[in-house]
């Protein structure tokens, strides 16, 4: 045996070596193969998850957008219209003036002049404010929808990654979603009186010295409306207009959600506050400023087409006295506050390529935290 070993030692080693390394290679190969198929399975799972996330998010996003289009925006527009009609009631002024016209003794010349002056300022206040509020609110609601959609994507992906259970995905709390969308009411419920008074100041400044017998043509009207908008937007601090749209302190406004007020330490902010902060960040960005500026200018252009038609084309191009223009402008402000599904202004602004691009980028961007 030893003799054999001594003689064949080398051969035995070599044989064992070959068999050994073959086995090792086989093991390696098998492990590799198994790892590869594991990896492939994982990748397939991931892809399936991603598809699930995508379809889940898409469905939910469309759901939110549907709610915003069919409920939030129409509701907001209805409220806006009735509140503006309440707060800026031109019919009363007009009635008193008409009465003065047919019963000459009821108004002194000074009273009559004052009423006309008031009607002039309020008519311009109303038309420019209606245009501004319609544009801003429809953009704001779209900002909200996109922020919700963005959160939804991140939360759904996160939920899938940790539990692989779609039902348990940490979706945005329905309450927070609804409260966030409901915050679009702030301008109407809280901000409107101060907004009206700011626009009144702007209109008074721009219309100073304009007489009722002065002729307004297309150029002058266009110019006047833009100047009132500019005067309003450049009043006070930059982004002061945001204060009419959103509460400064979300906690105070969101009173229903802070019932556990015994907790005085600065707790981690609620989802609602987080959503509001993000909306505020978007609205104060220079990109939004550009979009808003462009949207308002486009809306003014469209409005000029409508006013021109209302006045009879030749008339406004040649110019008509301000006193004759005022009732047409009052009529125009009702068109601006039309139901959202029939509102041409909302459609025109939302369909602008620049606006589309802004929202595509907003949805794709991750929120700053």
The only residue of 20, 22, 31, 66 in contact with ligand NAG, by rule CB under 6 A: 66
Q: Is 219 in the site for ligand NAG (CB under 6 A)?
A: yes
CB of 65 to ligand NAG, least distance (A): 4
DSSP assignment of 246-277, as one string?
S-S-HHHH-GGG---TT--S-PPPPHHHHHHH
Whole-angstrom Cα distance, residue 174 to residue 70?
17
Sole binder of ligand NAG in the list 154, 220, 277, 310 (CB under 6 A): 220
Q: Find residue 216's DSSP bridge partners.
A: 320
Angstrom distance (rounded) from CA 209 to CA 206: 9
Q: List residues bridging with 321 in a β-sheet.
A: 215
Compute how many other C-beta atoms are within 10 angstroms of the C-beta atom of residue 195: 24
Can you tell me the distance from the alpha carbon of 283 to that of 137, in angstroms, rounded to the nearest whole number?
Answer: 11
- What are the distances in angstroms from CA 86 to CA 79, 184, 303? 10, 19, 23
Which is closer to ligand NAG, CB of 73 or CB of 196?
A: 73
Stretch of 6-14, 118-126, 215-223, 293-301 lying at the interface with ligand NAG (CB under 6 A):
215-223
Question: In 109-235, where do the E strands start and end?
Answer: 215-216
Between 220 and 235, name the residue whose CB sits nearer to ligand NAG. Answer: 220
Under the binding rule (CB under 6 A), the answer on residue 350 touching ligand NAG is yes
Considering the rule CB under 6 A, would residue 65 count as an interface residue with ligand NAG? yes
Q: Tell me how far, at minimum, the Cβ of 62 lies from ligand NAG, in Å.
A: 5
Residue 217 as a binder of ligand NAG (CB under 6 A): the answer is yes
Place of tokens 């901000």: 191
Nearest approach, Cβ of residue 41 and ligand NAG (Å): 36
Of 64-72, 287-295, 300-308, 334-342, the window that binds ligand NAG (rule: CB under 6 A) is 64-72
CB 112 within 8 A of CB 97: yes
32 vs 54, which CB is nearer to ligand NAG? 54
Q: How far is the CB of 67 from ligand NAG (least distance, A)?
A: 9
Site residues (vs ligand NAG, CB under 6 A): 62, 65-66, 69, 215, 217, 219-220, 319, 350
């Amino acid at each position: 045996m030893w003799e054999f070993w001594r003689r064949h030692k080398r051969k035995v080693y070599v044989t064992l070596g070959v068999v050994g390394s073959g086995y090792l290679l086989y093991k390696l190969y098998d492990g590799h193969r198994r790892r590869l198929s594991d990896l492939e399975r994982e990748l397939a799972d991931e892809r399936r998850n991603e598809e699930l996330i995508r379809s889940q998010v898409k469905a939910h996003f469309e759901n939110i957008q549907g709610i915003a289009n069919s409920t939030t925006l129409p509701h907001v527009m209805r409220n806006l219209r009735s509140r503006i009609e309440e707060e800026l009631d031109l019919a009363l002024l007009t009635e008193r003036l008409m009465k003065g016209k047919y019963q000459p003794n009821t108004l002194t010349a000074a009273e009559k002049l004052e009423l006309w002056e008031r009607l002039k300022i309020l008519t311009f206040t109303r038309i420019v404010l209606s245009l501004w509020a319609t544009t801003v609110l429809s953009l704001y609601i779209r900002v909200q929808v996109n922020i919700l959609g963005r959160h939804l994507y991140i939360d759904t992906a996160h939920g899938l990654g940790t539990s692989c259970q779609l039902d348990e995905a940490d979706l945005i709390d329905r309450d927070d979603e609804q409260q966030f969308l409901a915050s679009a009411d702030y301008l109407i419920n809280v901000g409107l009186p101060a907004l009206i008074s700011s626009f009144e100041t702007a209109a008074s400044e721009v219309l100073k010295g304009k007489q009722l017998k002065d002729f307004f043509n297309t150029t002058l009207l266009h110019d006047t409306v833009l100047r009132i908008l500019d005067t309003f937007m450049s009043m006070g601090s930059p982004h002061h207009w945001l204060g009419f749209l959103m509460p400064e302190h979300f906690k105070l406004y969101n009173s229903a959600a802070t019932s556990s007020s015994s907790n005085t330490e600065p707790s981690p902010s609620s989802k609602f506050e987080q959503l509001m902060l993000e909306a505020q960040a978007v609205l104060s960005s220079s990109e939004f400023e550009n979009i808003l500026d462009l949207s308002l200018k486009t809306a003014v252009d469209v409005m000029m087409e409508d006013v021109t038609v209302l006045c009879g084309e030749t008339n406004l191009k040649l110019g008509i006295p301000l006193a004759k223009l005022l009732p047409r402008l009052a009529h125009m402000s009702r068109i601006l506050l039309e139901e959202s599904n029939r509102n041409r202004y909302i459609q025109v602004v939302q369909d602008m390529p620049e606006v589309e691009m802004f929202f595509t980028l907003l949805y794709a961007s991750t929120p700053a935290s």
